[in-house]
Amino acid sequence: MNIEARESTYHYGVMRRAIELIDDGGEDLTLEQLAARMDMSPAHFQRLFSAWVGVSPKRYQQYLRLGHAKALLRDRFTTLQASHAVGLSGSGRLHDLFLRWEAMSPGEYARKGDGLRIFWGWFDSPFGLALVMGTEKGICGLAFAAETGAEPAMADMRARWPQAEFTEDPAALRPLAEAAFAQKGETALHMIGAPLQIKVWEALLRIPSGHVSTYSELALAIGSPRAVRAVGTAVGRNPVSWLIPCHRALRKSGALGGYHWGLPVKRAMLAYEAARDEDNPAQDARAAG
């Protein structure tokens, strides 16, 4: 792992410790107090967080609070347009990242990856160590190991396509992965799932960065308003976390709901996006457009 990668992993670890402190009654800690609890000088803590998320620790702190999900539902809720005819290919923009996606056919999915060659590699990300998998058509898997551990994350992803041939080749994936985590340039997704899952994942792609929706809204968007439980399962089975933004799906109550790679990662993603989008309103407007 290079120096830049180690620094980014370190940043996530510090943020994870900050979440624990804030949850333990430290919501009102000053910058100086929070930095001291992290065994850092205020200046170092300020620089680290500003480098990681682009805003000051004090502003970021408000997005880590447990009530942030309810505030998002109140202020940044997205109603998805209901549609029975969701296409199987498309494109969109996440910040400065142009994202293309293509879905595997139901017949190909039923073969559980038989005849499919999947490349994989470990990369650093804003949310710790990440496992990226991809085919010749694009990224098909993105898992975060900070909470689960590397071996369980790998086993989880391989089990989704048990008949596929897996080849370690980070060089083949590096341009796609670097664009994905920097959210700049262009990357492609190869969506491998059942037809209902793909509809749900495409609906997730319509939630702008910094905004959230609910499981019931997703069910309405795919034309199956009563299938909220099935939609929740499909959200949980999303193999391309972060880029297919299942972290933006919340319960109506404002509870975070589950997250396959650990709730601290989900909270970090929501806080990261909200802080960045508030700091870049023009970018946020493009995402919502």
Dihedral sign for Cα atoms in the order 110, 114, 119, 120: positive
Dihedral sign for Cα atoms in the order 259, 261, 264, 267: negative
pLDDT grade for 124, boundaries at 50, 70 and 90: confident
Indicate if 246 belongs to the active site: yes
Strands 117-125 and 128-135: antiparallel
Res 106 pLDDT > 70: yes
pLDDT grade for 257, boundaries at 50, 70 and 90: confident
Radius of gyration, alpha carbons of the chain: 19
Q: Tell me the per-residue pLDDT of 62-82, one tens digit each, with 9 for 90 and over.
A: 666 656 777 778 888 888 764
pLDDT grade for 228, boundaries at 50, 70 and 90: very high
Write down the pTM of the prediction.
0.82
pLDDT grade for 282, boundaries at 50, 70 and 90: very low
DSSP state of 23: I
Res 5 pLDDT > 50: no
pLDDT grade for 57, boundaries at 50, 70 and 90: low
Res 83 pLDDT > 70: no
CA distance linking residue 65 with residue 68, whole number of Å: 6
> 15-24, 26-35, 167-176, 182-191: which range is least confident on average?
15-24
User: Can you give the pLDDT at residue 88?
Assistant: 47
Which among 154, 246, 265, 274 is annotated as catalytic? 246
Mean predicted confidence (pLDDT) in 6-10: 59
In terms of phi and psi (left: phi > 0; alpha: psi -120 to 50; beta: otherwise), the region of 183 is: left
Mean predicted confidence (pLDDT) in 124-146: 93
> 101-105, 139-143, 271-275: which range is least confident on average?
271-275
User: Can you give the pLDDT at residue 284?
Assistant: 45
Mean predicted confidence (pLDDT) in 240-245: 94
